[in-house]
Structure 1
C-alpha cells in the first residue's frame, strides 16, 4: 500500500511539473511564433508591385493614391553631435532618391528637429522618447510617428532608390519583409493616421522596457521584433471587412526576388555584441527550438536512468540477504 502511495505521489508531481513546463513554454512560444513564424498580410515582390501599377496604367485605370509623395529620412549623429553632414556613402544613396523624385517633398530629420517634432505634436510621449536607453530606439519611434502624422515613405539612409517609388503609393500601409525571421522597418509606407501606425505609436509607451540584453531591448521594445508583434496583433484584431496590409519583399538571399525599387548599403550602426548571436537565433528559430527540445529530452532521459537505476540498486540491497560478519 505504501509503495502505491509513493508511485501515485510521484505521478502527481510529474504531471504538475509537466504542466508548469508546458505553461512556461506556451507563454514564450506564442509571442515567439508571432514574431518569427509566418506573417500576416499580403506579400508582393517589388516586381509584382511594379507590374500592378503598369497594368492599371495600360488600362487607363486611375488607382487611389492614399500615400503622399513625402520621403522621410533620419540622421542622428551620435559620434559628432551637431554635425549634420552625412557620410559620403549615405549622401550618395540619398541622392539617388532625390534624383528620381524631383517633385517629392524630402525631409531629413536631424536630432534636434526630431525631438521638437515629438515635443510639439506628441508631448505625452516626450518623456518616453527621451528615456530610451539606446539612441536608435528614438529613431525607431520617430519613424512610426512620422508615418502616423505625415504619411509618406520612410527609408533608412543606407538604402537608396533604383526606380521611382510611385507604384508603392497605392497601398495605404505597408512594411518590408526580408523573407526570413522578423519583418523589417528600414523602409515603410503609410497614409496619414492609418490605424496600424496608430496602434504602433500608442503601444510604444507600455512596451518601452529594458529586456537586459541590448539587442533584445532594441528589437522588442521599439525595433523589428516590436513592429512584427504589432503587425500580427493588428491583423488578429481588425474586422474581417478590412483588407490585409502589404508586405513588400526585400529578400537579400540569392534565391530572393530581384529588387526593383531599392538598393542596400552600409548599415548596422547600432550593432552590439549580442546582435549577431541573437540575430542568428531569430533567423533559425525552429532549428534552435528543435535542438533545445532534443537536448532537454536527452538530459531528462539520462536523469531518469540514473535516478531509477540508483533506486533499484538501493531496493535490491535493502531486500537482499543479511550480510555475514
Structure 2
C-alpha cells in the first residue's frame, strides 16, 4: 500500500512537471504570432533621422558586412550561385568603404575553434546544415559586430544610416522576427544571450522545421527577443543595450523599403515550413478572430455529449431495474 502511494506521488509530480514544461513551451510559441516587444523603425524613418541630423553622428556599429555561403552538397566548393553573387555585388557597390567578409565552411569553423571552442561540438553536431549558418551569424554579431546580410538580400543604397543604432533585427510585420538581416555593435548583451542559449535550446524536435526554427532559427530568435526585453525592463538597462526592429514588411501597402532588396531564398524549405507558415498566417489569426464562437461551439458539443451519455445511463438503469423486477416476479410465481 505504501509503495503504491509513493508511486502515485511520483507519477503525479512527473505529470505536473510535464504539464509545466508543455505550458511554458506553448506560451513561448504564442509569442511568435503576437506583436513583438521593443521599438520598431521603418526604413524610411531611419533614412529621415539620418538625413535630418546635424553634425557628425557617432557610429555604434562597425563598418563590416558579413555574409555566409556554405555549399550543403559540396562544402569544398565556394562558388556562389550567380543570382546570389549579383545581390552580393550590390552591397559591395553601395558600401565600398565597408569591410566585406564572406564566411565559408572552412573559415567559419576556424573562427569558432579560435574564439568559441566550447561551441564547436554543438556546431558540428547540428543535424541540419542551415543550423550552423543560423548559429554562426549570432556569433559574428557578438564577436565582430557589423551588419549581417543573407545572400538572397541585396542593397539599394549605402547602409551608413543603420550604423547609428546599437543593435537591430528585421521584422516582416507578421509572425516571427527575421534573422536574414542583423546589425550590432560588438559585445552587445542580446547577442551574448543568443549565443549562450544555443546549447540549452538544442532539442531534437520531431519535424525538420521545428528543429531548425525553434532550436536556432527565427522562432528561437523571437522567443529570446521577448526574454531579453523582459530583462531590460527589470534591470533598467542603458540606451546602448537597446535593440530595434527594422521593418521589412512585404505586404501590399506596407512602408517603402529604402536599404534592402529581396531575391531568391530557398536555403531552407521543407514541407512543414509551409505547414507552419499557413498555421501562423491563416489558421492562428482565424482562431483568434473566432475564439468566442469556437468556445461556444465546443461547449455545446460537450454539454450535448454529457446530456446524451447521462440519458443513456438512466435508460440503462431503468431497463436493469425493470429486468430485475420481472425476474423477481417470475421467481415468486415459481
TM-score by length of 1: 0.86
CA contact (8 A) 1:281 1:288 kept: no
Residue 287 (structure 1) aligned with residue 286 (structure 2) = yes
Relative distance call for 1:137 and 1:111 in structure 2 (3 A) is: same
In the alignment, the residues of structure 2 paired with residue 74 and residue 311 of structure 1 have an alpha-carbon distance, to the nearest angstrom, of 67
Which position in structure 2 is the counterpart of 1:33?
30
In the alignment, the residues of structure 1 paired with residue 44 and residue 192 of structure 2 have an alpha-carbon distance, to the nearest angstrom, of 29
Computing the radius of gyration over CA atoms, which structure comes out larger, 1 or 2? 2
In the alignment, the residues of structure 1 paired with residue 298 and residue 163 of structure 2 have an alpha-carbon distance, to the nearest angstrom, of 49
Residue 245 (structure 1) aligned with residue 243 (structure 2) = yes
In the alignment, the residues of structure 2 paired with residue 81 and residue 318 of structure 1 have an alpha-carbon distance, to the nearest angstrom, of 76
Which position in structure 2 is the counterpart of 1:316?
318
Counterpart pick for 2:220 among 226, 232, 239: 226
**Secondary structure of the corresponding residue to residue 274 of structure 1:** helix
Counterpart pick for 1:273 among 259, 271, 274: 271
CA contact (8 A) 1:67 1:170 kept: yes
CA contact (8 A) 1:66 1:191 kept: yes
Query: 1:22-101 counterparts in 2 under 5 A?
Result: 26-56=23-53, 59-60=54-55, 62-101=56-95
| Bigger Cα displacement from structure 2, 19-28 vs 307-316 | 19-28
Which position in structure 2 is the counterpart of 1:260?
258
Query: How many residue pairs end up in the alignment?
Result: 304
In the alignment, the residues of structure 2 paired with residue 293 and residue 212 of structure 1 have an alpha-carbon distance, to the nearest angstrom, of 29
Gaps of 5+ in 1: 1-18
Q: CA deviation at 1:248?
A: 0.3
**Secondary structure of the corresponding residue to residue 260 of structure 1:** coil
Which position in structure 2 is the counterpart of 1:5?
none
TM-score by length of 2: 0.84
In the alignment, the residues of structure 2 paired with residue 142 and residue 255 of structure 1 have an alpha-carbon distance, to the nearest angstrom, of 34
Relative distance call for 1:53 and 1:120 in structure 2 (3 A) is: same
| Structure 1 moving runs of 4+ over 6 Å | 19-25
Query: 1:180-259 counterparts in 2 under 5 A?
Result: 180-238=174-232, 239-243=235-239, 244-259=242-257
CA contact (8 A) 1:214 1:274 kept: yes
Relative distance call for 1:265 and 1:303 in structure 2 (3 A) is: same
